[in-house]
Chain A
Amino acid sequence: MLEIKNLHATVDGKEILKGLSLSIKPGEVHAIMGPNGAGKSTLGYTLAGRDGYEVTEGAVEFLGQDLLALEPHERAAAGLFLGLQYPVEIPGVSNLTFLRTALNAQRKLRGEEEVSSADFLRLVREKAKELGLDPEMLKRPVNVGFSGGEKKRNEMVQMAVLQPRLAILDETDSGLDIDALKVVAQGINALRGPDRAILLITHYQRLLDYVVPDHVHVLAAGRIVKSGDKSLALELEREGYATVAA
């Protein structure tokens, strides 16, 4: 599903990713762990196509397409979702307008029919309820005045509505209390399926108690230095990055 080969990327002229390779198959859950400054967020932003994140070498294939040749919104329509560590506030644009515009833009680009307002409302309310976000909050501007936990729940609602093929979740678990963490895990687990894959980018092992990964990778200094199964996460927690990644 996702083939990253020898990816090098720079930010402000500084090389952050230095030859990262990773292969994700449908149905799999991968976790990338690593210390601060290893390039975890850069990986997410580079795959999503953020301005200023420049690929200098390597290739990324996503569902048979050259991912790096696509614009950010085309990557989303192709089935890529990036859950942000700090979801952005958009004053004046309601969650409902934002999400309906996004869903219909994706469907249009894929040559599918737009969803009707009634069907959309039903869908988004149902997902919000499942994920413990008050449906009334959907009428409010995107993330404005939302607590940290509410913002992350909102990311999960967006993901549940957009149903991406590959979800990259960048520190979605950071700063959450245990209840919010469980909701986020529930959102991720609900998306799991034979056609979909999930890439968790995280600093801590905590989330992996609730979303059990098939593969765990250690990212250090812009490369994957070690891969293993879920026991690697526990080892990291016990021994620390310095020991395991050495």
Chain B
Amino acid sequence: MSAPFTLPSKRDEAWRYSDLKALEAAMMLPDAADAPVSEALSLRDGETLALPLAITGGRADVTRSVAVAPDATAVLDERYSGGGWLNPQVSLHIGAGATLAHHIDQSRAGDALTTARYDVEVGPGATYRVHILNAGGQLGRVELDVRIHEGASVELGGVLLASEARTIELVTRFHHIAPDATSRQTVRSVAADKGTVTYLGKIIISEGSQRIDAEQSSKALLLARTATANAKPELEIYANEVKCAHGATVGELDKQALFYMATRGVEPAEAKALLTEAFVADAIEPIADDARREAFAEAATGRLRAMVRGA
């Protein structure tokens, strides 16, 4: 079973900054010989599921669904690797009162294309914590549609890194469909060379969804004048008793800090590495599990160090 992919147009806001040329060319790719099978999985209390997703080439449309049992605490680790075009469509259902810690590592190499789409249902009183490192391939796109039920809580941390001529995108639609819930999104993006980072974050608060606390923070750092950062926060609020905060900034490395570090003997590349690592830390520090947080930081650091050497 596979999810069909229709080539979007630039007129579609959610695809406006994307690399449609790369996708158009990829439509011709043959089906991958080693495409992962589509599956439906479930997670019980205390379980950890590691889901690698890789093909060597060609094109693969994959459909997956994962259900977390009510009141369970579980972990989902997804790692994208290999080449070709991966087009996964993932449904997550987090049962009432359950907690899911979800980690997505998209650090695919070279000219790989990724168009991942997640539909997440966060049940009443449930907690969903997702941390995404989106850094690899010619096009790396992660879309998250999250429906948030009563009393639920969602935390998203995103690190988007685009070097060379990569297009790295995170598109979120957080739909608060019931009252007394919270959501917090922290996205830190770094672009070098001719890289493009895009964060499109939409928050919809339905009528009757009172006492919602929704927060969105997006910061982008450009390491070169040829790099691009797009950020678009969008709020649609149909309830009157809500707290909704959003902020988006785009900047460059602090020249004063770079000079200060140099006067103490720190080499320019090392100084830039320290500053960029500090910059993305906001999105990584909330990861609760020590080992995963360190692994996540290390993966981001490795990428960033390569990026600042070229900048």
Which residues of A pack against B, CB within 8 Å? 48-51, 71-73, 75-77, 81-82, 84, 87-93, 97-99, 101-103, 105-106, 109, 141, 158, 162
Contact = CB atoms under 8 A, between A and B. Distances in A.
B260 A73 contact: no
A162 B254 CA distance: 23
Contacts of B270: 101, 105
Given A50-B259, A88-B256, A105-B270, A93 B264 contact: no
Interface string B247-286: 0000000111101111111111010001101110110000
A100 B297 CA distance: 20
13 contacts: A49-B262, A51-B255, A71-B262, A73-B265, A76-B262, A77-B265, A91-B278, A93-B274, A97-B274, A101-B274, A105-B265, A106-B265, A109-B265
A115 to B, nearest CB: 13
B261 A98 contact: yes
B264 A90 contact: no
Best-buried of B262, B263, B274, B282 by chain A (most CB within 10 Å): B263
B268 A73 contact: yes
Given A90-B275, A92-B278, A92-B281, A72 B263 contact: yes
A76 B265 contact: yes
A49 B282 CA distance: 32
Shortest Cβ-Cβ A-B pairs, 9 listed: A92-B278, A76-B265, A72-B262, A106-B265, A102-B264, A88-B260, A73-B262, A102-B265, A82-B263
B124 to A, nearest CB: 36
Contact of B266 (A48, A87, A105): A105
Contacts of B260: 84, 87-88, 90
A103 B266 CA distance: 8
| Secondary structure of the B contact surface, majority rule | helix
Contacts of A102: 261, 264-266
B274 A76 contact: no
A49 B263 CA distance: 8
B191 to A, nearest CB: 19
A74 B127 CA distance: 51
Nearest to A88: B260
Given A72-B259, A91-B278, 9 more contacts: A73-B266, A87-B260, A88-B256, A90-B254, A90-B275, A98-B264, A101-B266, A106-B265, A109-B265
Contacts of B279: 92
Contacts of B262: 48-49, 71-73, 76
Contacts of A73: 261-263, 265-268
A72 B267 CA distance: 9
Interface string B202-228: 000000000000000000000000000
Given A72-B262, A88-B260, A90-B257, A105 B267 contact: yes
A158 B265 CA distance: 11
Contacts of A109: 265
A98 B265 contact: no
Contacts of A76: 262-265
Contacts of B254: 88, 90
Contacts of A99: 264
A29 to B, nearest CB: 20
A71 B278 CA distance: 24
Contacts of B267: 73, 105
Nearest to A78: B265
B255 A103 contact: no
Given A93-B275, A105-B270, A88 B265 contact: no
A93 B277 CA distance: 9
B278 A90 contact: yes
A81 B266 contact: no
Given A92-B279, A93-B275, A158 B255 contact: no
Contacts of B274: 90, 93, 97-98, 101
A59 to B, nearest CB: 21
A90 B263 CA distance: 14
A101 B264 CA distance: 9
A102 B264 CA distance: 6
Contacts of B257: 88-90
A158 B264 contact: yes
Contact of A103 (B265, B278, B281, B282): B265
A82 B281 CA distance: 29
A199 B40 CA distance: 72
A142 to B, nearest CB: 8
A153 to B, nearest CB: 16
Contacts of B278: 90-93, 141
Nearest to A89: B257
A51 B282 CA distance: 30
